[in-house]
A and B are shown apart, each in its own frame.
Chain A
Amino acid sequence: MWRWLLFVWIAGFIVLAFTWAPLVPVLGPTTRVLYFHIPAAWVTVVALGWSMLHSVLYLRTRRMEHDDHAAAAAEIGLLFCITATVSGAMWAKAMWGAYWNWDPRETSIFFILLIYAAYLALRAAIDDPARRARLAAIYSAVAFVTVPFLIFVVPRIYFSLHPDPLLNTRMKPDMDPRIVVGFLGMLVGVTGVYFWAQQLRVRVVRLERRLHLI
């Protein structure tokens, strides 16, 4: 039931964003990438934080379900990270003329991709489930330490061409309120998609383990 609600919600806000919300003068039609790109980047941080949270919980309680959550969140976070990277690269091609030119934002998100790809590589190299859960949790907790640096610190130290429309240095949105409405709606919708995917993935992992036991 609420899956359909999510579908209608996102579809509605996409229509809203494309018909009702105005375009930002300099950005032109590329304004609309913000309804997908920023929520994807936001969900990346949420998912990786979720992975870190459950890693810490695993280390405290040693319950395998926390490891399921941590692994699923890292996998899905990586997918959303790729989405944000690719949509950003497409926008960069339209605005800056090149898909990739190592702008601080591009560099940061690429580092995050590599760090969490290493997390999956580490998991793949350990056979014993309890040991895999423990070592992966240690790595995931350390890996998340780098995320605030890469997302929030680096782009503010080095000069970046990346627009900062929502959380700019004055900490207030200087966008048209209609864009803000569309953006926040998409943010909620995409976050909903993430938690739906997360719950599906955790269920799959659990079923796989039960199958393994039989």
Chain B
Amino acid sequence: MTTNNNIGLTLYGVAGSPATNNKAGFEALTFVQLKGTQSLPVFGVTHNNIDVSDLGTGFTSGVKGAATGKDTTLTFHGDGTDTGIATAILAANAQSGVYSLKIVRGSGTDGGDGPAPVAGDVVQYAHGYLHTYEENPKDDSSFEGASINFKQNAATVDDVEPS
């Protein structure tokens, strides 16, 4: 087993969701890189617990309930004019905000925005909606940038970059 750091992970997005939450669905989408990311959303789901009490035993046991997608944050530096970031800001401020994200551990050429994805690289997909666009504080110890939240609305799809 190898444990890598997270340096080199890149984020891609598209304003829309796939017709099917699987590899074919996400691979059909045209993703654009969100450049200047500092922390990426964490994909995943959590499950509710349903308590089931029993008077005879006096013990309340749990059964697994419905899943719900995580709501996590992505942060970036810059003025928000990067094409990918601009689509994300637009979605975060739009009424529906439907958006799909792709996290890539690329191994290709780094053109200045992280290693490019090449066929066979590990990727993760998730779709949901973007919300809560919040710019960094306007003070003398902060840099230009912002954060956006991503609410996942279906299970994560693990894949590799298609050829």
Partners in one complex: no
Q: Which A residues contact B (CB, under 8 angstroms)?
A: none
Q: Which B residues contact A (CB, under 8 angstroms)?
A: none
